[in-house]
Chains A and B, each alone.
Chain A
Amino acid sequence: MRRTARDSEDSARTITRRGLFLGASMAAFMAVLGGRMRYMQVDQADEFRLLAEENRVNIRLIPPARGLILDRKGRVIAGNEQNYRVVITREDAGDVPAVLTRLAHVIPLLPDEMEKVADEADRSSPFVPIIVKDRLPWEDFSRVALNAPSLPGVQPEVGLSRIYPLMGDFSHVVGYVGPVSERDLEGIENPDPILRIPKFQIGKIGVERWQEDVLRGTAGTKRIEVNAVGRVMRELERIDGDPGADLMLTIDADVQNFAQARLGDESAAAVVMDVNTGDLLAIASSPSFDPNLFVRGISQRDYSALLEDDHRPLANKTVQGVYPPGSTFKMVTALAALEAGVINAQSAVYCPGHLESGGRRFHCWKGGGHGSVALEAALAESCDVYFYEIAQKVGIDKIAEMGKRLGLGIRHDLPMSAIAEGIMPNKDWKQASYQQDWRIGDTINASIGQGYVLTSPLQLAVMTARLATGRAVNPRLVRAVDGELQAVPDAPTLGLDPAYLAAVQKGMFEVTMGTRGTAKSSRIVDEAMLMAGKTGTSQVRNISAAERARGVVSNDQLPWNRRDHALFVGYAPFAAPKYAISVVVEHGGGGSLAAAPIARDIILRAMSDGLPPLEAYPKDQRGRMETLLNALPLRDIGAAAAPTRA
């Protein structure tokens, strides 16, 4: 069809007009785009820059090296060992099972271990290293490094892990570390972010737990650049943390080891304390267990075995076990009576073998009676009736007060777990606990450390130290923090009349040194190391009148857990007291036979540089003692606990 020129002109004008409009619209919109660009890139740039930084930068914590725990001579009780492990990264390995199969030729690797690792690698991001094997011996570890070219994606790594070179010797005192659990975090208001590091270990019990803040140190940080899926691209900055402070204990690893070995398989506890400073030289509870098991993750089987053992290896009997102190309590009764003025050291009591009171008959351990005894003989021979008599005169409240002054029935604060307070009963206590009136029979029982009285071996050691010095010595476990010696706290005098104290001390001296002393076979003959002490035998069952009539069954014939506890407390040297000791052997039988010999050996070890010198023992015992001492399974402390920091 033909068009007129006019038509063409018109339509061309339309196109031009509308084309210009279109062009202007496009230009306008591009101006809007440019404005938006400016707004985002110039006005909001800082905000977006911050977001970009948050995207790319991650902050990771660097766990600090945990502080060491040392004995008083600087030997390592708890250290850090290099933990050699092998990890595999899926993206570098390619075929994980194939690489693991090759790895199994280099290090021991079980098929189900391999399967577990391969599964985990499949589930994780390809760049996350998976731990194939932990705690490899150095030989295996170096073999992996050597074979690295044929093991793509396999990396040997070194980390730090807690180690207790002295194994069971300190498991109760020092405790152990373990991975942080939800329970650990519960009570903490603002948990240190370091606790969220996977597999980070904190103290679970003992010193490790109660000195956690000192030992942990502070975490370092590193800023790393990560990509969108979290892969680490590079490290941007690193701020090192502070390693935990080293902790030096008052304990002598040699004495501790000796005590632990000397207690052997018995269910027993021994505490050795410096009577002047309160330093705990040894604080042994047996049987023990290897704390390293817990660090590495104890198997259910091992754990059940520990739980089911009737000797309770997991319990720390030195502070958490409470026992009737038996005759070791008699010094408290005697001092209370002396101070109250109801007796003097020469007052004599006639012991016919029993005492009638309130229609009940209270027996002396010696059926035939001790005859007329004064304080010294009453302690030496452990006459019960003497104390029944004087206790009735002085009354329970004064006895209890004396007990507390001497450190019984109060909680001694040490960085250890489950420290028991024990029980030092009086009238109010019974009223509060049982809603019953105190009876005279209760006083009689308490006077010889039976009945309601309960004490821990630690409290007994404190009592002995206070008896030896007349001062309010407090036990101490930490000698130095971060190399800085801690001040020895003042031990104010107890305000006891020196004459009374001397009378009790003389009685304790006669226990071992007197011809009729209950522990005379456990005497020390070396003049410079003479030991004073007191035996104790505490019943864990009531002996009925009928049984008494038939003749009391001897301990040997009873099942283990019905036998009496054997106790001994003592200090030495008598002339210038240095160490106090308490020994409790659960269901050990008599204190003189089961506890006193152990106490003597341990306190001699504390006073010597090496094994107890044979010259300290009575001549007729030396042969036997030599055999016994040499047979003890002692540890080479120097080799096991060389003071090195990993």
Chain B
Amino acid sequence: MSFLEYRVKTVPTGLSKVFHVHWALLLVVIAVASVGFLMLYSVAGGSLDPWARDQMQRFGLGLVLMFFVAFVPIWFWRNVAGVAYLVSIALLLVVEFFGDIGMGAQRWIDLGFIRLQPSEMTKFTLVMMLAAYYDWLDAKRTSRPLWVAIPILMIMIPTALVLLQPNLGTALMLMMVGAVVCFLAGVSLWYFAAVGVMAVGAIASVFTLRGTPWQFLHDYQYRRIDTFLDPTADPLGAGYNIIQAKIALGSGGWTGKGFMQGTQSRLNFLPEKQTDFIFTTLAEEFGFIGAFSLLLLYGLIILFCVVSALQNRDRFSSLLILGVAANFFFYLAVNLSMVMGMAPVVGVPLPLLSYGGSALLVIMVAFGLVQSAHIHRPR
């Protein structure tokens, strides 16, 4: 069903939209973000500076943006999906040639108050683009080779640009989230099987070509994989971060060491404790109970999204919400796997918790899209 087909009259207008906001979802998002403020306050040694205050202000800005996006009708966002996608590609090109580099490889544009990372934005504009594409595409053609090649191209262009930055983690997530949307839209499973076989081949060649002039990955990316496979091989070098993270997490026990009592973070053993590894501080200070509760909150966010998507009869909205949820899930799954030693350290923040403006604002805008789809759903 497309929005053209349902009566605009049944969609709330004006301020009455407030009553149709998915408040439960919003509350959980705020709760998770608040946990983040608490942890940023803790890792700063009981101080709002330098992180917590900043983060709260950005979250406030994020909330404003979210409401703005939410109150704009979803069909407007569908219509601008192509533009948003093209802007993202353009920005990726801009940072490729003019952007700043820091912390390994993330490229950004410094806007003064915020460092915009087009690669973050692209994760969601890609979802919008694909959702719009499948909304437009006749369902019968979904699995025809030509109509499958187009979304693959849509995915590969930003992926290639991000890979050039080079940012392997984000590139992989773009491919994954793109694949998820295609999967949801009904693309035949044979394509996925074929891609899977190709992926295995690609991974095999990545490792076999290592050390030759044709190697795919950068040396540091290979080292990250090495470190993941055996962090103790170089405990003071590349493996240090992951070992310390695991110590922090594991030493939390059932109930944790208490708020602001985490020795690993307070004594600076934890790397990047305010960004990628913030979960370890939470796990250290609040233990398994705290860490698992956060996991449940994340689960609730995803659950609300999935339920909302499945109840939504608008195809674009469904795909968009599920794409956002999948994206959100990939963030936290990769981050948590990473800090728990189940995945290589790839520099993916924990959504809503990690300090960092760009990712937070982008996620809030994405939730704005989810809310807009929810508010303007066909009734």
Contacts and interface: CB of A to CB of B under 8 A. Distances in A.
A158 interface: no
Given A22-B184, A23-B306, A33-B333, A55 B263 contact: yes
Contact of A33 (B309, B313, B326, B336): B336
Contact of B1 (A12, A26, A227): A12
Contact of B292 (A29, A37, A55): A37
Tell which of B1, B247, B299 has the most Cβ of chain A within 10 Å: B247
B247 A55 contact: yes
B23 interface: no
Given A33-B340, A37-B340, A52-B263, A15 B186 contact: yes
B216 interface: no
A34 B267 contact: no
A38 B288 contact: yes
Given A15-B186, A22-B306, A52-B264, A37 B246 contact: no
Contacts of B292: 34, 37-38
Contacts of A36: 340, 342
Contact of B310 (A8, A20, A227, A228): A20
Nearest to B142: A11
Given A7-B139, A37-B295, A22 B326 contact: yes
A285 B252 CA distance: 68
Nearest to B279: A37
B267 A11 contact: no
B254 A41 contact: yes
A11 B134 CA distance: 10
Given A33-B295, A42-B288, A225-B267, A3 B138 contact: yes
Contacts of B309: 15, 19
Given A23-B302, A228-B267, A1 B250 contact: no
Interface in A544-596: none
A426 to B, nearest CB: 67
B125 interface: no
B253 interface: yes
Given A41-B288, A52-B263, A55-B267, A12 B315 contact: yes
B75 interface: no
Nearest to A30: B299
A27 B138 CA distance: 31
Interface string B224-268: 000000000000000000001011111111100000000110111
Contact of B269 (A15, A22, A33, A55): A55
B184 A40 contact: no
A15 B319 contact: yes
A56 B247 CA distance: 12
A221 to B, nearest CB: 20
B254 A42 contact: yes
A27 to B, nearest CB: 7
A10 B138 CA distance: 11
A44 interface: yes
B81 interface: no
Contact of B303 (A16, A23, A37, A44): A23
A226 B266 CA distance: 10
Contacts of A40: 246, 249-250, 340
A44 B333 CA distance: 21
Interface in B1-43: 1-2
Nearest to A50: B251
A365 interface: no
Given A26-B329, A37-B292, A227-B269, A8 B263 contact: no
A346 B333 CA distance: 114
Contacts of B342: 36
A644 B244 CA distance: 51
Contact of B251 (A1, A26, A51, A229): A51
Nearest to B243: A51
Nearest to A51: B247
Given A1-B138, A48-B250, A55-B247, A19 B310 contact: yes
Contact of A48 (B180, B247, B267): B247
A45 interface: yes
B140 interface: yes
B287 interface: yes
Given A19-B318, A227-B268, A29 B333 contact: yes
A230 to B, nearest CB: 10
B77 interface: no
Interface string A45-61: 10111011001100000
Contacts of B140: 7
B339 to A, nearest CB: 10
Interface string B128-167: 0000000000111010000000000000000000000000
A233 interface: yes
Contacts of A12: 1, 313, 315, 318
Interface in B182-199: 183-186
A45 B253 contact: yes
Tell which of A12, A18, A22, A38 has the most Cβ of chain B within 10 Å: A22
A45 B250 contact: yes
A94 to B, nearest CB: 21
B139 A41 contact: no
A37 B291 contact: yes
29 contacts: A12-B313, A14-B184, A14-B185, A15-B186, A15-B315, A15-B318, A18-B183, A18-B186, A19-B184, A19-B318, A19-B322, A22-B306, A29-B333, A30-B295, A30-B298, A30-B302, A33-B336, A38-B292, A40-B250, A41-B250, A41-B283, A45-B251, A45-B252, A48-B246, A48-B247, A52-B247, A56-B267, A225-B267, A233-B267
Given A15-B184, A45-B254, 18 more contacts: A1-B138, A8-B315, A11-B139, A11-B186, A15-B310, A19-B318, A23-B302, A26-B306, A38-B288, A40-B246, A40-B250, A41-B249, A42-B288, A48-B249, A48-B251, A55-B263, A228-B267, A229-B268
Interface of A: 1, 3, 7-8, 10-12, 14-16, 18-20, 22-23, 26-27, 29-30, 33-34, 36-38, 40-42, 44-45, 47-49, 51-52, 55-56, 225-229, 233
Which 10 A-B pairs rank lowest in CB-CB distance, beginning with the nearest? A48-B250, A52-B251, A227-B267, A11-B139, A41-B288, A14-B186, A45-B253, A228-B268, A23-B306, A48-B251
